[in-house]
Amino acid sequence: MVIGLEMFSAKEWIGGAIYLRNLVYTLAALPPTEQPQLRLLYDELAEPDLVDDLRNFAFVDRHIADRRATTNFRLAHRVWGAARRRASWLFPGAGLGELHIVYPGFGPTVPGTVHMHWIPDFQHLVLPEFFSIEECKRRTSAFAQIAAKRTMLVLSSRAALGDFQRFFPDAVVTPRVWSFCSVFSERERGGRDPLATYQLPEKFAYVANQFWRHKDHTTVLVALARLRQRGLEIPLVCTGLERDVRSPDYFDELMSLAVELGVSDQVRTLGMVPRADQIEIFRHAALVVQPSLFEGWSTVVEDAKAVAAPMLLSDLPVHREQTAGMQRAWTFQPRDPDALASRLAEIWPVLPRRPNPAEEGAVATAHQKRVLDAGRRFIVTVGEAIDLFGR
């Protein structure tokens, strides 16, 4: 089985790059006899560090790349609104005819292969107020084209599958659910002590989202203010991109709101930190708060699960799906600062400081099993796509 994996530029789409990175690391966890062969398909704007990292695995083609095709990223542009540009896929190693499947199907067509598509979520249809009319039309058109194809579509959650079936009831494409796991390399686990490096308090809550409106930091700030009035001050640490391309002033508005609410001294924003440092922040956080109004499959939740971090999440179907069976995962009504404040007042005083290596070790075996199961499910999905739609 030879899979052509289309690489994204992390600068253009951080979530897509992380998704592909987790996919490759998940496949790397499989026994060598179960691993497929991967060829990375990428253009000159792909993140070089990510490409170099993934090409270190034995099952990933490490030959010098050749230019084989030139095309527009028509589908990627319509889906994600990326700037129109000419781009060249670079195909390492052997000829294109040796590819059995291309995933996730946003790039140029490779003749003679099955294009298995991925749609991360349907946020623009559920929360259209966060998108322009033009962008909503562009994304819906692109998704409709995928829905009309005789091929396979991968969705990241059962919640996303429900949205897809609701919005595209007459779809021809065959949907399957495959949910990724966070997988940390040894290098990524070697981050610096965040208390010393970033001068963080010994006990803090952590929000790891980009500063985008639908991530809803506002509700967290208001909840902190309500708790402060009641005599409970909770330090909050935030990491993530401090610019929302759809709302460039949002971060400044949030910081002004923190001052207005009288909680600015409780809030530390660190921007984009190295991945290894971020994992250490997850490990040290007494509580991970995920207030987002919409997720396809939350990387934040997966990261927290991997290090046994307690979580307080907005009550979304996908969050309930991701944390099913977990003991220390609580929910609150989205957009409701009073509900969040009540939950925090209930659980914060009894949460211990972290990290807790013994606790992390206890979940490590179960997490490794989840990773192996995810890798095998992906291979089964790819094999099914080839059997159903290959020539």
Give me the pLDDT at residue 192, please.
94
Q: What is the pLDDT of residues 151-180, one digit of tens each?
A: 999 999 999 999 999 999 999 999 999 999
Confidence grade of residue 289 (pLDDT, cut at 50, 70, 90): very high
Looking only at the bridges linking them, the beta strands covering 65-72 and 86-92 are: antiparallel
* 213 and 313 housed in the same domain: yes
Residue 189 lies in a domain: no
Query: How many CA atoms lie within 13 Å of 277's alpha carbon, on the beta-carbon side?
Result: 16
* 385 and 242 housed in the same domain: no
The span from the CA of 11 to the CA of 29, in Å, is 27
Residue 41 lies in a domain: yes
pLDDT at 63 over 80: no
Average pLDDT, the chain: 88
Residue 186 lies in a domain: no
* 127 and 92 housed in the same domain: yes
* 172 and 102 housed in the same domain: yes
Give me the pLDDT at residue 47, please.
66
pLDDT at 46 over 50: yes
Residue 364 lies in a domain: no
Contact 88, 43 (CB under 8 A): yes
Least confident of 71-75, 258-262, 317-321: 71-75
Domain that holds residue 104: 2-179+370-389
* 160 and 271 housed in the same domain: no
- CATH number of the CATH domain containing 173: 3.40.50
- CATH number of the CATH domain containing 333: 3.40.50.2000
Buried b (16+ CB within 10 A) or exposed e, 288-305: bbbbbbbbbbbbbbbbbb
Residue 360 lies in a domain: no
* 130 and 249 housed in the same domain: no
Give me the pLDDT at residue 10, please.
63
Residue 357 is encoded by which pair of tokens? Answer: 């290596």
DSSP alpha helix (H) spans, the chain: 14-28, 48-54, 74-80, 123-126, 133-147, 158-167, 194-197, 217-229, 250-261, 275-284, 299-306, 317-322, 337-347, 357-389
* 155 and 215 housed in the same domain: no
* 289 and 146 housed in the same domain: no
pLDDT at 66 over 80: no
* 116 and 257 housed in the same domain: no
Q: 3-class SS at 75?
A: helix
Residue 365 lies in a domain: no
Contact 255, 287 (CB under 8 A): no
Residue 362 lies in a domain: no
pTM of the shown model: 0.89
Confidence grade of residue 188 (pLDDT, cut at 50, 70, 90): confident
For 122-165, give the DSSP string: -HHHH-GGGS-HHHHHHHHHHHHHHHTSSSEEEESSHHHHHHHH
The whole-number average pLDDT for the span 282-310 is: 96
Confidence grade of residue 67 (pLDDT, cut at 50, 70, 90): very low
Spatial CA neighbour of 310 closest among 358, 258, 360: 360
The span from the CA of 105 to the CA of 110, in Å, is 10
* 166 and 63 housed in the same domain: yes
Contact 247, 331 (CB under 8 A): no
Interacting residues of 387 by C-beta distance below 8 A, sequence separation 6+: none
Residue 201 lies in a domain: yes
pLDDT at 135 over 70: yes
* 303 and 251 housed in the same domain: yes
Total number of domains in the chain: 2
* 152 and 39 housed in the same domain: yes
Contact 309, 288 (CB under 8 A): yes
Q: What is the pLDDT of residues 73-132, one digit of tens each?
A: 434 444 444 433 333 444 444 444 488 999 999 887 888 899 999 999 999 999 999 999
Query: How many CA atoms lie within 13 Å of 67's alpha carbon, on the beta-carbon side?
Result: 6
